Structure 1
Amino acid sequence: MAPVHKVAVIQWHIKNLDPEYNHARAISYITAAAADGATLAVLPEYHLCGWAPESPLFASLAAQYQTYLDSYCALAKKLHINIVPGTIIEAHKPQSTTTSSIDSGNDILYNTAYFISSTGQILGQYRKKNIWHPERPHLTSSGTDPHEVIQTDLGKVGMLICWDLAFPEAFRELIAKGAEIVIIPTYWGRLDASPAGLKLNPESERLFLDSTLTSRCFENTCAIIFANAAGPSDTFLGMSRVVLPFIGPVRTMGSEEGYAVAELDMSVLDVAEDNYKVRQDIKSEGWYYTYRHETQNTDRNQNPDRRPVDR
């Protein structure tokens, strides 16, 4: 019989450049979710420092990422809960093999999501690949590194970050490798739409998330756990949720601060695959498409100014 997991999505109004405040909020919500029986807690993108890349503090705080990562590992072990601590901006020294590196002083900045097990071990990580265009002057993409699947006690997990949601290729690469659950920490706001887009529909970004999160579940026979930042509704969307095929959102939040615990019934994925046979088709001999990234890209190396359209 397929298991049912209790998972928590967490959202709050993240304070820019205040990791101590944000970290304390995260610990409080994770602890409460664990007390409510959650076996996994997922935080939003940029949950430690928010988004303030023009400040000199942004890069200097990114150099302290290991302290917070270690803290989450200890908390996961203490509470016996799996944690995806949203994303953490990390400062690293540039290497000659780095793809599409953007200098930030002497360091480059990666936007990284980690999966921490309930024993406190880091089982895997993912660096954001599809970088939203206002982020590109500040962050470095994982480029042609392949999407990887992580074996966890909840099943096979893939991780994406925010604007990756817009690229079905990212999902299909994960599904082709067996991912059952896709976790997406996000910092997605109402004003991510341009003035022209907002004129056409002031709620266009809400429509984007509502429709795309559900369609990705159907077309990939997978579950999605989506954690977004919250705050004033004229700017922030919240909308953190757990989504399944057939059902759509199992549990969804508004723009309020807090957390929501949802039951993730893995048997729904079996029903979806029996019905749509997406994974069966992908594995069939002579399948029309491939889902992988080359570790070397000759065209990119010859023309380093070319970039994928990346959030």
Structure 2
Amino acid sequence: MSSLGIAALQLAADKSDNLELVERETRAIAKRFPWVDLVVVGELAVHGASLDKAEPAGGETEVRLKALAAETGLWLVPGSLYERRDGAIYNTTPVINPAGEMVARYDKMFPFLPYEAGVAAGRDPVVFDIPGIGRVGVAICYDMWFPEVIRTLVGLGAEVILLPTMTNTIDRDVELAIARSNAAINQCIFVDVNLAGDLGVGRSAIYGPGGDVIYEAGAGREVIALDLDLSTVARMRERGWNGLGQVLKSFRDSEVEFPLHADVKARRASMPGLGALEMPHRQGGDAAPRSTVDQGGGRKPRLKILD
């Protein structure tokens, strides 16, 4: 049996300046759960969502995170950071091994546009091997809404997907449905770790390769330490969940071609009427809607109906 000891840290983070919190919580994991191999934290946990906090690759934060991994002897996936490289800013997840070495950088392929304006899109999928345990893939938050991202990681051999997330909006229910679906349709273990506190609504979740619920967190700070049996991934890919669908085999063996995926031009030509990817505005324009007085003495907006 191949097992992965993982600790997903749902941190009660402030809006920024959480590096010491990440260091403190990681050290506590190493002391309390010596069987844990890997620690993963939510998206942008360290510095928050401001592009002003972007650092160059190899900057001060990266140096401290590498030292933290070496000190604790843990694989460390510390959420993500805004990172400056080659004149652009990327939302980057570092992958640091127990020797304190940077083994990979994953740049978010689908920045949350139009809200995450100014962030360049990554192009390269990232998987990494933990010797004697298995292969892990990395994506970030909004990436999971695009099934091609997760399917590509699985095609590269990932048995576990780590998804650092920062969600503080009402769509968390939908995200959990997507995370669970990704686990089932890709027959992998899916680890979606959100933030709590000022940066997120919590509700991190880990789903098994049959879409089964391994754990779902509440809204506040939680330390989710789990011993994941990776042999279940191979078994369910071979036999199906409870002997049912062998999804990856069917996808592998299919002779169906998907024109939408032929190339970028084909994809864009198939969706000509969507309009620009831009920030939504009020239907009545930029100005605030006028108000009128209702019969109860309160103020009620007058809505403009658009033809």
- Shared fold (TM-score, shorter chain, > 0.5): yes
Structure 2 residue 84 is the aligned partner of structure 1 residue 91: yes
The aligned amino acid for 1:87 is S
Structure 2 residue 206 is the aligned partner of structure 1 residue 242: yes
Structure 2 residue 58 is the aligned partner of structure 1 residue 78: no
Unaligned runs of 5+ in 2: 268-273, 279-307
Q: Is the 8 A contact 1:176 1:283 kept in 2?
A: no
The aligned amino acid for 1:115 is V
Structure 2 residue 195 is the aligned partner of structure 1 residue 229: yes
SS at match of 1:214: helix
Q: Is the 8 A contact 1:46 1:86 kept in 2?
A: yes
Residues in 1 aligned to 2:2 and 2:256: alpha-carbon distance in whole angstroms: 31
Task: Give deviations 1:47-99, integer Å, cap 9, x for gaps.
Answer: 1211234xxxx24x5348622212222221221111101001112242xxxxx
Other-structure match for 2:163: 184
The aligned amino acid for 1:245 is P
Residue 298 of structure 1 deviates from its aligned partner by: 7.4
Structure number, greater radius of gyration: 2
Residues in 2 aligned to 1:140 and 1:126: alpha-carbon distance in whole angstroms: 12
Other-structure match for 1:266: 230
The alignment-based identity, stated in percent, is 22
Residues in 2 aligned to 1:293 and 1:118: alpha-carbon distance in whole angstroms: 40
Residues in 1 aligned to 2:147 and 2:210: alpha-carbon distance in whole angstroms: 19
SS at match of 1:135: coil
Residue 245 of structure 1 deviates from its aligned partner by: 2.6
Q: Is the 8 A contact 2:260 2:266 kept in 1?
A: no
TM-score, structure 1 as length reference: 0.75
Residues in 2 aligned to 1:298 and 1:214: alpha-carbon distance in whole angstroms: 31
Q: Is the 8 A contact 1:188 1:236 kept in 2?
A: yes
Other-structure match for 2:221: 257
Structure 2 residue 171 is the aligned partner of structure 1 residue 210: no
Residues in 2 aligned to 1:65 and 1:131: alpha-carbon distance in whole angstroms: 22
Residue 246 of structure 1 deviates from its aligned partner by: 3.3
Other-structure match for 2:246: 277
Select the structure with the greater relative contact order (CA < 8 A; seq sep ≥ 6).
Answer: 1
Task: Give deviations 1:225-263, integer Å, cap 9, x for gaps.
Answer: 22111026xx83211232213362322321212421012
1:29 to 8, 11, 25: 25
SS at match of 1:112: strand
Q: Is the 8 A contact 2:91 2:111 kept in 1?
A: no
The aligned amino acid for 1:80 is G
How many residues are paired up? Answer: 264
Residues in 1 aligned to 2:19 and 2:169: alpha-carbon distance in whole angstroms: 24
The residue correspondences of 1:43-192 to structure 2 (distance < 5 A) are 43-53=41-51, 58-59=52-53, 61-63=54-56, 66-94=59-87, 108-142=88-122, 145-153=123-131, 154-191=133-170
Q: Is the 8 A contact 1:176 1:279 kept in 2?
A: no
- CA 279–138 in structure 1, closer or farther in 2 if over 3 Å, else same: same
Residues in 2 aligned to 1:227 and 1:284: alpha-carbon distance in whole angstroms: 33
Residues in 1 aligned to 2:99 and 2:153: alpha-carbon distance in whole angstroms: 25
Q: Is the 8 A contact 2:44 2:82 kept in 1?
A: yes
- CA 88–52 in structure 1, closer or farther in 2 if over 3 Å, else same: closer
- CA 189–80 in structure 1, closer or farther in 2 if over 3 Å, else same: same
Q: Is the 8 A contact 2:95 2:104 kept in 1?
A: yes
TM-score, structure 2 as length reference: 0.76
